Structure formats: structure tokens, C-alpha cells
Chain A
Amino acid sequence: MKYKTLKLILAIWVILWISFLMREVFAKGGLRVYSALLNRSLDDKRSYVTGDNFYEFLVFCNDKLPEGAVYGWTKIDKADHARRRSTYYLYPHLEEEGADFLLVFNEPFSAGPGYELFAKLDDARYILKKKKKGN
């Protein structure tokens, strides 16, 4: 009786196991992701998993921000995955409220009061810098 029950459980287990594996690899796009990642360099992989557009902007920011500069974001929620990724990739630059540099992603160009354009990747991805008092 015990072994019959165990065999039945194992059979159902295996069916579920294989079904969920197939679902993950084929239906949920696992295979597509794996094949896209397989031949990429490490940096290309970072770009793929972060989103090419966003990662390109982060690389741009790393390149343009002066050493030790702190930055802030416009309109990306603090708990957003993209924001967390940016914190990781932009370190040793640190995020701070009221920072001199504002990073703008996926927003039409507008400098806003008190800020001027510092560097621009394109019309929707750019860095603003706080205007100095007296300017």
C-alpha cells in the first residue's frame, strides 16, 4: 500500500515537474532569453537584463558624471527595480536628495527651474545640473 501510494505520488510529481519545466523554458520565454544571452559579452548581458536603453544611459552617466558627484532621479520611483539597478551600476556615485545632478530617463527634454543641461545622450535621456546661485 505504502509503495503504491509513493509510486502514484512520484508519477504525479514527475508530470508536474516536467510540465512546469516546459512552461518555463518554452511558454514563458526562457529559451528565448537563454539564446539571446548565450553569445553575449558580460557587458552586453548586463545591458540585456537591465534593458538596452536604460543600460546605455547608465554607462553614459558613469562616463559624464564628475568623480565623486552625487545624483538624483526624476520620476523613477525609489522602489523601482530600474532605480535599484542604477544604484548598483552608478556606484561609487551616490544617490542623494537635492543632488547637483539630475538624471532624466524617458522624458521629453525640459531643463526645469534651477537646472540646466549638463550632458545629453538623446532627447529623452540626459543629465541636468543645478544652476549655481547668481547665474
Chain B
Amino acid sequence: MESLRLVLSIFSALFIGWNILYIISLKNTRLSFLEKLFVSYGLGFGFISLEMFIFHFFSLKFSLFSIMVWWIPLIAAVLLVASKRRKSHRPGGKGAVTKKTPLSVLERFLICGISFEVIYAFFRALIKPIEAYDAIATYAIRSKIFYLAGSLPHDFFYNLSLLFPHPDYPLNIPLSETFVYLFLGGLNDQLVKVIFPIYFVAILGILYYAVKRLSGRAGALLFTFILATIPQFNHFATNAYHDVPFAYYCFTGTLFLLYWFKEPGSRGYLYISAVMTALAGWTKNEGFVYCVANIILLSVFLFLNRRTIKKRGLLNGFLYVGIMLLVLAPWLWVKFTANLVNSDVGSTSLEQLNIFKQSYKIWPIFYEFQRQIFGPKKWNLIWIIFILSAIVYRKKLFDESRRYATISLILIVSGYIFAYLIGRDDIWHMVGTTWSRMAMHFLPLAVYWLALLFGKFEPDI
């Protein structure tokens, strides 16, 4: 019975996400059914948690009815639009049937490897309750408070939250956990962990379809296999830390922006990117690095293509920032009014912002970077391949098809380095304890970037 309730909670998030996706991607996006499902999952949980957070402003209590009822107008609108579209787009017949080529030995092997890692991730997540350090101390405690109180207590940000570590951390995942608890009817801190490996699967799925468009099926399977088998990434899909859900939002946020650069007529991609990037900011503070990075990336694109894009493109740029601000507004409002500052980079003084004075921190930062690069226990060979590829394909890095992915990676890593430079904590401790998780946030994008470099993949095995 509990398992059925769990499935229902996931299905509800998916269903709501699907409807949101339908509305924001009305403007011509070409996504497959499964790809839409993977995007819907993160959208669903992101918006449900945002809704539960907005309840706080109106002192509303959480219940399945009170949460779900607000989505009825959206679902009705989607049904209406869908029925109208169906009438105007009656297909003349079945589309061309593409002949599927049989799987090669290599492809079969890769599918087995990916399936094993996915099953193993679910197994490891669901075999034990939440117990990892930050998962329990920072996040699970908050979802327990919300569930037991049946709401966000009215003085939560001024009183209760300050008693636990990191009161400034966004609440996407704690509230998503509360949503699952509401379905389960109890605090089952074992079953609730299912949301994490599903984020993992969603990233793999989105990467698969993204690479398939570039390299074909074999290439897509190869790069999905590579991401799925990175020990650090797989491990964090199971321990209830927020890094994998966060990586999901960061990756989709950037990927859909890259899609829009390729097809500026398909504005749905731009809207999905704006929403997903904002949801990254709603999942972890580091999300603001991605918000800034994507805004800069968009500005670079608009500037380089100013002759072809014209006025409408500029409007799209404003719209992009506007959507982000709209999604983040409730959280930013609370963050500033309750003065929730980050313990590491929060109340940074002007002197700390002088990065030349902080340049002594460069050495520990690069020391930790190289420690991760040559750390096969956590990363297998991914960062070594990454560095070597950048050297070998150095002439291709900034050509038309790869330019923006390369700039995006540079912006993100620079953003993290900047945060380390201005941070108040001891630099050795800060970098040593966080970099291996930070690198996970842009790992899917790094794997996609590798696929972009390698191009078409047609092996003979």
C-alpha cells in the first residue's frame, strides 16, 4: 500500500510537471515522449515545492487536496488548448516509420551497464533511510518539521530554521520530501529517497536524447554509460544530498538554452531553460552562479548574432531574466526580508571582494582541482579525458557548434572559483570539502561537451 502511495506521489509530480511543460513549450519544441517525461519530473517537483512555499505567505496548511486543487485551472487550460490544437493539426496519416537498426554488441553492453547502474542506484537509495551528514542535518530535518507542522511554521525563518545548519539553503527538496510524506501518510525517510535516483535517471535520459541528436544511438549510449558509471555521481544519486537534483536543473537549464541558440524560432526551449535555471536557484544557493552564467551566455549569443536576431531577440533576453526572477521572487523575498545569509560567502566585506587580495587562495583551489582530476576512485577517467580532449581539440573548442557549451563551462567554473575567492571560510577546508560535489553540478554538461567534441560515433563493434 505504501509503495502504491509512493508511485502516486511521483505520478502526481510528473502529471503536474507535464501540464506545466505543455504550457511553456507551446512554441514549437521537438522533444520525444520520454524526454518530456524527464523534463516534467523536475518541473513537477520544482513547482509543487514552490507552491507549498507560497502557502507560507498565506498561512495555508499542507494537505494533498489543498496542494493539488490549485493545479486544476492549469490542467483545464491544457485540456482546452490540447483539444483546440488537435482539431487544427489533424494529421493526414501515420508519420514515416523509421526502420530500427538492430543493436550492436557494444550497444547491448552499454545498455546492460546503464541498466545495472540505474537498478543499483535505486537499490542503494532504498535499502536504508536518510542518514548521510548533510542529508539529515540540513535537509531531512526541515522536511520533518514541515510535515509535522503541516505547513511552514509562521516564524520558521526567524526562529526555528536558525537552530539548524544553513538556514539560507533553498527548500525545493525538503518541500518535495514533505509532499511525498503527505502521500505516504507518514515520515518514511527510506521510501522518500526514491526521488533522488529518479533525478539521476532523468539526467541520463535527457543526456541520451541530447547526444543522440549529435552522435546517433551508439554515441548517445556511450556518453550516457560514461555519466552513469561515474562512481561519485552514482553515489550521490542515493544518499539524499541535493547535488544530483541540482545537477539536473543546471544541466537542463543550460542544455535548453543551447537548443534555443540552434533554433531561435523555438521559444519553448528558451522558456524551459529560464524555468529550469531558476529552479536550480530554488534547489541550492550555487544555482545563482548558473543563473548569472546563463544570462551572460545569452547576452554573448545575442551580441554575436545581433545582425540576425534583432529586436525580438533582445526582448527574449529580457523575458528570460523576467521568468527567472518571477520563479525565484518568493524565495528571494524571504531570503532578503529574513536576512538569511550564507555562512561561507554571505556577508562578504568589500575587502573580500577584492579578488587580487584573495589571490593567495588560487593555489589551494588548483591543488584540489588536480586532486579531483586524478581521482579515479570518484571520477574514473572523466576529468583526464576532459582535459586531454580540450588540448587535442583546442581548435574546435570555439567553432560554431561548440562555442556556447565551451563558454558555459568556462563561466560556471569561473563562477565557482570566484565564490571560493570571496568566501570567508578557511580556503583549504572549503575547497577540500565542497569541490568534489561542485564538480558534479556541471558534470552532465561536461559529458555533453565531450560528445559535442567527438561528433558522430559509428563504431564497428
Which A residues are within 8 Å of any B CB, using their own CB? 2-3, 6-7, 9-10, 12-14, 16-17, 20, 24, 34, 37-38, 42, 45-46, 48-50, 81, 84-85, 87-88, 91-92, 94-95
CB contacts (< 8 Å) of B131 on chain A: these are 46, 49-50, 85
Report which of B164, B190, B376, B460 forms a contact with A45, defined as CB distance below 8 A: B190
CB contacts (< 8 Å) of B133 on chain A: these are 81, 84
In the complex, chain B residues 127-170 whose Cβ is within 8 Å of any chain A Cβ? 127-129, 131, 133, 136-137, 140-141, 144-145, 148, 163-164
Are A45 and B381 touching (Cβ within 8 A)? no
Residue of A nearest to B385 (CB): A9
Are B137 and A16 touching (Cβ within 8 A)? no
CB contacts (< 8 Å) of B377 on chain A: these are 20
CB contacts (< 8 Å) of B381 on chain A: these are 9, 12-13, 16
User: Known: A45-B190, A88-B140, A91-B144. Is A6-B459 also a contact (CB below 8 A)?
Assistant: yes
Are B129 and A49 touching (Cβ within 8 A)? yes
Are A94 and B141 touching (Cβ within 8 A)? no
User: Known: A87-B137, A87-B141. Is A42-B226 also a contact (CB below 8 A)?
Assistant: no
- From A3, A6, A7, A88, residue with most partner B Cβ within 10 Å: A88
CB contacts (< 8 Å) of B226 on chain A: these are 13
CB contacts (< 8 Å) of B127 on chain A: these are 34, 37-38, 45
Q: Does any Cβ of A come within 8 Å of B222's Cβ?
A: yes
Are A3 and B460 touching (Cβ within 8 A)? yes
Extra contacts besides A12-B381, A45-B128, A88-B140 (5): CB < 8 Å: A37-B128, A45-B129, A85-B131, A91-B148, A92-B148
Q: Does any Cβ of A come within 8 Å of B299's Cβ?
A: no
Report which of B141, B144, B376 forms a contact with A16, defined as CB distance below 8 A: B376
CB contacts (< 8 Å) of A13 on chain B: these are 226, 229, 380-381
Interface string of B176-196 (1 = CB under 8 A from A): 000000000000111000000
Minimum distance in angstroms from B116 CB to a CB of chain A: 9
Report which of B144, B163, B460 forms a contact with A88, defined as CB distance below 8 A: B144
User: Known: A3-B459, A13-B229, A37-B127. Is A20-B137 also a contact (CB below 8 A)?
Assistant: no
Are B459 and A2 touching (Cβ within 8 A)? no
Interface string of B54-98 (1 = CB under 8 A from A): 000000000000000000000000000000000000000000000
Are A42 and B137 touching (Cβ within 8 A)? no
Q: Does any Cβ of A come within 8 Å of B454's Cβ?
A: yes
- From A9, A84, A85, residue with most partner B Cβ within 10 Å: A84
In the complex, chain B residues 190-243 whose Cβ is within 8 Å of any chain A Cβ? 190, 222, 226, 229, 231
CB contacts (< 8 Å) of B137 on chain A: these are 84, 87-88
Residue of B nearest to A34 (CB): B127
User: Known: A17-B229, A20-B376, A20-B377. Is A42-B136 also a contact (CB below 8 A)?
Assistant: no
- A selection of 7 A-B contacts at a CB cut-off of 8 Å is A3-B460, A9-B381, A16-B376, A45-B129, A46-B131, A87-B137, A87-B141
Report which of B113, B141, B459 forms a contact with A7, defined as CB distance below 8 A: B459
CB contacts (< 8 Å) of A87 on chain B: these are 137, 141, 164
Are B190 and A42 touching (Cβ within 8 A)? yes
CB contacts (< 8 Å) of B459 on chain A: these are 3, 6-7
Report which of B164, B188, B380, B460 forms a contact with A42, defined as CB distance below 8 A: B188
Residue of A nearest to B149 (CB): A92
Residue of A nearest to B380 (CB): A16
CB contacts (< 8 Å) of A20 on chain B: these are 231, 376-377, 380
CB contacts (< 8 Å) of A49 on chain B: these are 128-129, 131
Are A10 and B222 touching (Cβ within 8 A)? yes
In the complex, chain B residues 373-388 whose Cβ is within 8 Å of any chain A Cβ? 376-377, 380-381, 385
Minimum distance in angstroms from B149 CB to a CB of chain A: 9
Are B188 and A85 touching (Cβ within 8 A)? no
Are B145 and A46 touching (Cβ within 8 A)? no
CB contacts (< 8 Å) of B163 on chain A: these are 94-95
Question: How many Å lie between the Cα of A84 and that of B377 in the bound state?
Answer: 27
Minimum distance in angstroms from A25 CB to a CB of chain B: 9
Question: How many Å lie between the Cα of A135 and that of B461 in the bound state?
Answer: 85
- From B123, B129, B133, residue with most partner A Cβ within 10 Å: B129
Minimum distance in angstroms from B209 CB to a CB of chain A: 21
In the complex, chain B residues 323-348 whose Cβ is within 8 Å of any chain A Cβ? none
Question: How many Å lie between the Cα of A37 and that of B131 in the bound state?
Answer: 13
Residue of A nearest to B456 (CB): A2
Question: How many Å lie between the Cα of A92 and that of B145 in the bound state?
Answer: 8
CB contacts (< 8 Å) of B376 on chain A: these are 16, 20
Question: How many Å lie between the Cα of A20 and that of B379 in the bound state?
Answer: 10
Are B385 and A42 touching (Cβ within 8 A)? no
Minimum distance in angstroms from A120 CB to a CB of chain B: 27
Question: How many Å lie between the Cα of A3 and that of B456 in the bound state?
Answer: 11
User: Known: A88-B140, A92-B148. Is A46-B385 also a contact (CB below 8 A)?
Assistant: no
Minimum distance in angstroms from A94 CB to a CB of chain B: 6
Question: How many Å lie between the Cα of A94 and that of B163 in the bound state?
Answer: 8
